[in-house]
Amino acid sequence: MSIPSKDSITAAHERIKSYIHRTPVMTSASVDEMAGCHLFFKCENFQKVGAFKARGAMNAALKLSPEQRVKGVATHSSGNHAQALARAAKILGIKSFIVMPRTAPEIKKRGVRGYGGEIFECEPTLAARESTLAEVVKKTGATEIHPFNNYDVMEGQATCAKELFEEVPDLDYIIAPVGGGGLLSGTALATKYFSPKTIVIAGEPALANDAFRSMQSGKIEPASPSTSIADGLLTSLGDKTFPIIYENVKEIITVTDEEIIAAMQIIWERLKIIIETSCAVPFAAVMKDKSKFASKKVGIIFSGGNVDLNKVGKLFS
Amino acid sequence: MSIPSKDSITAAHERIKSYIHRTPVMTSASVDEMAGCHLFFKCENFQKVGAFKARGAMNAALKLSPEQRVKGVATHSSGNHAQALARAAKILGIKSFIVMPRTAPEIKKRGVRGYGGEIFECEPTLAARESTLAEVVKKTGATEIHPFNNYDVMEGQATCAKELFEEVPDLDYIIAPVGGGGLLSGTALATKYFSPKTIVIAGEPALANDAFRSMQSGKIEPASPSTSIADGLLTSLGDKTFPIIYENVKEIITVTDEEIIAAMQIIWERLKIIIETSCAVPFAAVMKDKSKFASKKVGIIFSGGNVDLNKVGKLFS
């Protein structure tokens, strides 16, 4: 595996096309007016499993050799990648082994089981997740598909920005959220290859600003434990994602949890669509730094829409 | 004004086309599986002002004579019609006078003012609303545009089902919610003219089942005061809407508030879109009476998506 090229991203897009949605690009005159620019929202909240993760997991699974397929795939994830990988495995008729912290929401576990994934519970620490996954891989011979630090996964995530550029060819900016950096590095590569004049920016929670700090220091700064509500963005960057981000992303804008909630509320109320907290971060960045984007054409990747509605009341009250 | 004809609905569609969205029709494999039928959701929650009401109000305003336009339009409404009419008036550069109960949510009042509408507050009773509106009309000479008991409004609402039939030509059923009956009578007429083999059904809150009772007795049964959460559907039928509904709607299915909330939660979680409580009623009807719709192609009009997010917590907890 090597850094995805223009051709390999195009090939990945062909490979996964029939297994994913080509998600719509939404616009809103009233949100544009509030933001002072022209916004194009690429709605991966409408993607299979409710998030862009369906792309990367599907691409990685489809690239397995016949020998690898026999033994299945494995990962550790408490979130959308777990379901995305279990779904990809189900489509291919192969096994999936998912290590999840025992504290993961029951609804996520049900989702994985619904796709026939086998769950291995562990303590909710990174060390426990990694050691449990190592055991599972040793026992089963399954291929590990990392949620983001994997070029095949990155290649799949890159197809999202590629689709957006096909629909809106002259964007001044494209903004993605950053956690481990799979979506952001894929977005950065797709921009470099398919829309090189577009400037890539990332949005990150201020309470989990390790990517921002990494851009300053020039090396991967590990994420500290964080209470940010953007719970999909609390991971450290990986050694495959960071160099691509460092080279191709112009700026990381950090936003507070209050700004994230305000942004999310605008999207729910104006666009009438459900986006998750992590997904609201890039739009929050635009609203925070309006002068930068004034009158520009700005693409925003809406990463996902998996929300626990039982907790929504607390956010908006 | 007379009952809308096939030609007049087609003309209305041309008339309003550039002022409204052609809203998308959404489908979901997972929701189809839960419901046991093939569902096509016509998403008027994405319509201008967040509801189908934009259609009827726009059509009625565009049909005013030059003399009428000079004096403006008036209505009483605490909900989506108020904003829809104020918006239509703003587009035409004419005045709008909106009678609203003083208890109407501040957000709705702001919406009306945002479109330049002049608000007249009154006590929250039907008598007060009607007498205040009569005074306003007398004073201003404005033309009253009733929210539903008006053939021009009905003609506009009919364009919604017309669009759905253009996209999905062989529906077995079409289901709309029923309050005052503007959307349902328009849907029934559009079905009669554009898809006569499709069966028209309505969904109604069990706590506000006046339309159900009217269908039984053959005359308009007035709505009783109701506490149903489907607050857009608490009105009695009108003398223009009822005869069309009585003749063309096969059945009204009533659903409890619990069934409405459960249906709304499925749509939010699976389709990742925001629909309001009243809007969830037809889908709740399908989920209640699955055997009737088994394996059929069912069109559902999603009427609107205007939700007070500060109250959402209470619904889902």
Distance from C-alpha of A288 to C-alpha of A25, rounded to nearest angstrom:
22
Q: Does B218 touch chain A (CB under 8 A)?
A: no
Distance from C-alpha of A163 to C-alpha of A144, rounded to nearest angstrom:
28
Boundary of a domain, candidates A124, A144, A164: A144
Considering the domain architecture, whether residues A29 and A90 belong to the same structural domain is answered as: no
**Domain boundaries, position A61:** 54-144
Rama region for B128: left / alpha / beta (φ>0; ψ in -120 to 50; rest): alpha
Query: Looking at chain B, which residue has its C-alpha nearest residue A266?
Result: B309
pLDDT of the residue at A252: 98
Considering the domain architecture, whether residues B73 and B215 belong to the same structural domain is answered as: no
Pair B57, B85: CB distance under 8 Å: yes
Boundary of a domain, candidates B87, B111, B144: B144
Considering the domain architecture, whether residues B166 and B295 belong to the same structural domain is answered as: yes
Query: Looking at chain A, which residue has its C-alpha nearest residue B272?
Result: A274
Contacts of A309 in chain B (CB under 8 A): 265, 268-269, 312, 316
Contacts of B275 in chain A (CB under 8 A): 272
Considering the domain architecture, whether residues A15 and A76 belong to the same structural domain is answered as: no
pLDDT of the residue at B228: 94
Q: Does B312 touch chain A (CB under 8 A)?
A: yes
pLDDT of the residue at A80: 92
Q: Which residues pair with A76 in a beta bridge?
A: A99
pLDDT in tens, B135-178: 999 999 999 999 999 999 999 999 999 999 999 999 999 999 99
Q: What is the mean pLDDT of the segment spanning B181-205? A: 98
Considering the domain architecture, whether residues B209 and B289 belong to the same structural domain is answered as: yes
Query: Looking at chain A, which residue has its C-alpha nearest residue B313?
Result: A313
Q: What is the mean pLDDT of the segment spanning B300-314? A: 89
Q: Is residue B38 part of a domain?
A: yes
Q: Is residue A264 part of a domain?
A: yes
Boundary of a domain, candidates B127, B144, B161: B144
pLDDT of residue A312 exceeding 90: no
Torsions phi, psi for B36 (to 5 deg):
75, 20
Considering the domain architecture, whether residues B246 and B116 belong to the same structural domain is answered as: no
Contact B317 A310 (CB under 8 A): yes
Q: Does B24 touch chain A (CB under 8 A)?
A: yes
Interface test with B, best of A49, A108, A270, A272 (most B CBs within 10 A): A272
pLDDT of the residue at B192: 98
pLDDT of residue A1 exceeding 90: no
Q: Is residue B1 part of a domain?
A: no
Q: What is the mean pLDDT of the segment spanning A208-225? A: 96
pTM metric for this prediction: 0.94
Q: Does B120 touch chain A (CB under 8 A)?
A: no
Q: Does A302 touch chain B (CB under 8 A)?
A: no
Contacts of A45 in chain B (CB under 8 A): 272
pLDDT of residue B313 exceeding 90: no
How many domains, in total, are found in chain A?
2
pLDDT of the residue at A126: 82
- Residue in B46, B272, B310 closest to A274 by CB: B272
pLDDT of the residue at A85: 98
Considering the domain architecture, whether residues B163 and B127 belong to the same structural domain is answered as: no
Contacts of B310 in chain A (CB under 8 A): 316-317
Beta-carbon count within 10 A of A71 CB? 16
Q: What single string gives the DSSP state of each residue in chain B?
A: --SPPHHHHHHHHHHHGGGS----EE--HHHHHHHTSEEEEEEGGGSGGGBTHHHHHHHHHHTS-HHHHHH-EEEE-SSHHHHHHHHHHHHHT--EEEEEETTS-HHHHHHHHHTTPEEEEE-SSHHHHHHHHHHHHHHH-PEE--SSS-HHHHHHHHHHHHHHHHHSTT-SEEEEE-SSSHHHHHHHHHHHHH-TTSEEEEEEEGGG-HHHHHHHHTSPPPPPP---S-TTS-SPP-TTHHHHHHHH--EEEEE-HHHHHHHHHHIIIII-B---TGGGHHHHHHHHTHHHHTT-EEEEEE-B----GGGHHHHH-
Q: What is the mean pLDDT of the segment spanning A141-165? A: 98
pLDDT in tens, A146-156: 999 999 999 99
Contacts of A274 in chain B (CB under 8 A): 268-269, 272-274
Q: Is residue B91 part of a domain?
A: yes
Q: Is residue B72 part of a domain?
A: yes
pLDDT in tens, B119-129: 999 998 889 99
Q: Which long-range contacts (CB under 8 A, 24 or more apart) does A11-19 make?
A: A12/A59, A12/A152, A12/A155, A12/A156, A12/A158, A12/A159, A13/A159, A13/A162, A13/A163, A15/A59, A15/A62, A15/A63, A16/A55, A16/A58, A16/A59, A16/A62, A16/A156, A16/A159, A19/A48, A19/A54, A19/A58, A19/A62, A19/A88, A19/A91
pLDDT of residue A303 exceeding 90: yes
Higher pLDDT, A60 or A126: A60
Considering the domain architecture, whether residues A84 and A134 belong to the same structural domain is answered as: yes
What's the CATH code of the domain at A121? 3.40.50.1100
Q: Does A56 touch chain B (CB under 8 A)?
A: no
Contact B312 A310 (CB under 8 A): no
Q: Does A274 touch chain B (CB under 8 A)?
A: yes
By percentage, how much of chain B surpasses pLDDT 70? 100
Considering the domain architecture, whether residues B67 and B172 belong to the same structural domain is answered as: no
Q: What is the mean pLDDT of the segment spanning A10-37? A: 97
pLDDT of residue A143 exceeding 90: yes
pLDDT in tens, A234-260: 999 999 999 999 999 999 999 999 999
Query: Given pLDDT bands bounded at 50, 70 and 90, which one contains residue A317?
Result: low
By percentage, how much of chain A surpasses pLDDT 90? 89
- Residue in B45, B46, B316 closest to A312 by CB: B316
Q: Is residue A93 part of a domain?
A: yes
pLDDT of residue A277 exceeding 80: yes
Q: What is the mean pLDDT of the segment spanning B21-39? A: 96
Average model confidence (pLDDT) across chain A: 96
Least confident of A222-231, A270-279, B254-263: A222-231
Tokens of B139: 């004073």
Average model confidence (pLDDT) across chain B: 96
pLDDT in tens, B42-75: 999 999 999 999 999 999 999 999 999 999 999 9
Considering the domain architecture, whether residues B246 and B109 belong to the same structural domain is answered as: no
By percentage, how much of chain B surpasses pLDDT 90? 89
Place of tokens 């082994």: A97
Considering the domain architecture, whether residues B273 and B157 belong to the same structural domain is answered as: yes
pLDDT of the residue at A104: 84
Least confident of B112-116, B159-163, B197-201: B112-116
Q: Is residue A112 part of a domain?
A: yes
Considering the domain architecture, whether residues A133 and A167 belong to the same structural domain is answered as: no
pLDDT in tens, A27-79: 999 999 999 999 999 999 999 999 999 999 999 999 999 999 999 999 998 78
Q: Is residue A1 part of a domain?
A: no
Query: Given pLDDT bands bounded at 50, 70 and 90, which one contains residue B317?
Result: low
Pair A179, A210: CB distance under 8 Å: no
